[in-house]
Amino acid sequence: MNAGTTTDWREKELAQWYNKNMRGSLEGYAALFGFDKNDDVLDLGCGDGTLLAMAAKKGARVTGVDISDAQLDNARAALKGVKNARLIKSTLQEINFADNSFTKVSIRKAIHHLTNDEKGQLIDKIHHWLKPGGILIIEDMILTFALHRRDENRPLVEKDAAVYYGANWPAFREAFYTTMYKELPCDLAQLTHHLLFTGFHIVKIVSPACFMSTVIAEK
């Protein structure tokens, strides 16, 4: 395990490292959804199932999708005893559901694994999967500046990351820049284009750092 820079999610050690170091608290994120007993919730890249368990506790029916066997094992443990839950092993590119299947969809720290075209294709599919008035929330490395300006914004990134990650920033730096340069992050202009073009209404954008954004969109 090399400080989280490996991106092969078949590795159990990567899942363990991510859950301990990079997942972060989900309390505030979960609150954005306002889960209740009338919800059908889909979490794409569900990880250890924490968000699904939170939704299920509110009475929601939950579906989780992940490519990692280790994370799916964790999610099964988190959802033990929950009747209205299902977990599916699949890539985000291959997964599909019937139209009008869900009221709320989450993609947290997973969409940066997709190319720009794949992001657009997935968002289009989600628009079909959601019921009218349904909510999609995406939280990830979504840059507030243009993607091609990563290098010139490096000082701003360093400044924001030192505040965002605090004392952990030196330990996270290598993994962070692997995501920024070797994986497939996007900027707000790219993501909002996909959402608006597909037919979503953007409800709110929150960017606690120049490299991190949460986007709430409604069908």
pLDDT digits (tens, 9 = 90+) for 124-177: 999 999 999 999 999 999 999 999 999 999 999 999 999 999 999 998 899 899
Mean pLDDT of 36-51: 96
CB burial of 134-168 (b: ≥16 within 10 Å; e: otherwise) equals bbbbbbbbbbbbebeebeebeeebeebbeebbeee
Q: pTM score, two decimals?
A: 0.93
| Inter-residue contact 134 to 219 (CB < 8 Å) | yes
Instruction: Give one word for 209, left, alpha or beta, with left for phi > 0 and alpha for psi -120 to 50.
Output: beta
